[in-house]
Copies of this chain bind each other. A is one copy, B any other.
Amino acid sequence: MTSRLGYAILALLARLPSTGYELSARARRPLGYFWTAQHGQIYPELSRLLDAGFVSFTTSPGPGPRHKKVYSVTAAGMRELAEWVVRPPAPARGDRDEMLLKAYACWTADQPAAAALFDDQISRHQERLARYLADWQAVQSRHGGGPPPVTHPDFGSHATLRFGIDYERQRIGWLRWMADALSAEKRLAGP
């Protein structure tokens, strides 16, 4: 039994052995699209994974006052990860999406300002969508333009990016609809 962060770390290390520092950098793209981890949390978790025997490390004389540790997943760690993947997750608790909370309360607010807020969010998500699409292309190009085989690490990236692309498109559509609805009323009340 490990925390969810532990499995995120195992999933990263299963692809490529890394130092704690590298993990915090790698936990931005593409894992960071749906999971984050700062180094302040990674180092303690790595030592817990070490105690559990799921990772091991080799030292090399790195920069700074301390030695550098390159971690990799042990056979027991791989087994643990594979079993966790297949275990059904606890039903997700509230997702805490701040824009949804704002939408829930938007009837209390100034309408043009709210319309502007939702409209403004669109560009942010378009940027994200563009990033996902670029990564998606990059992954596919490594496999002759098609999807990677399901036993290849790239399949994980492919699958999560596919979700991200659909999600951002859906969200952009919703944001547009919100912005429209909040400015449409204005027009009807006009001269």
Partner of A88, one of B120, B155, B174: B120
Mask of A4-19 contacts with B, CB within 8 angstroms, 1/0: 1001101100100000
A109: chain B residues within 8 A (beta carbon): 81-83, 85-86
Contact between A163 and B100, CB atoms less than 8 A apart: yes
A98: chain B residues within 8 A (beta carbon): 4, 89-90, 92
Q: Copies of this chain, how many? A: 2
- Interface residues of A, CB < 8 Å — how many? 76
Main secondary structure of the interface of A (DSSP, over half): helix
Judge whether A160 is part of the interface by a CB distance below 8 angstroms. yes
Extra 5 A-B pairs, beta carbons < 8 Å, given A7-B101, A107-B150: A34-B104, A36-B94, A82-B110, A103-B163, A105-B156
